[in-house]
Amino acid sequence: MTAIWIAVIGASMTAFLNKYIGHSVPEQWLDRPRFKRINTLVPIVLLSALVGVQTFAHKKELLIDHRLAGVGVALLALKFKAPFPVVVISAAVTSAAIYNWF
C-alpha cells in the first residue's frame, strides 16, 4: 500500500468520523443562540473569502484585472436589489468585455 492510499483512507475515515460526531451532538447544545449566530455567518464568511481570493490572487501574486470590474458590477447590482441571475450575468458580461477589450 502506497502513501497516497494511506492518505486517502485516512482522509476518508476523518471525514466519516467528523460527520458522525456532528450528528451525535445533542440538539440542546446546538440550540444556543451563539451557535445559531455562528452557523448563519460561517457560509457568508467562507463565500466572501473565496470571492476575494479568486478575484485578487493568482498563485502567490496579488493582481487587479478584469475580475475586479465584474465584482464591482455585481456589488452595484446587489445594492440596487437586482435578481441573482441579473447579478451573475451582468458581472460575467462586464468581466468578459473588459478582458476582451484590453
Say what the pLDDT of residue 40 is.
Answer: 92
Model pLDDT, residue 59:
86
Band the pLDDT of 28: cuts 50, 70, 90: confident
DSSP lists the bridge partners of residue 62 as: 57
Over residues 45-96, the pLDDT tens digits come to 999 999 999 999 988 888 889 999 999 999 999 999 999 999 999 999 999 9
Task: Say which DSSP state 86 is in.
Answer: H
pLDDT tens-digit profile of 64-73?
899 999 999 9
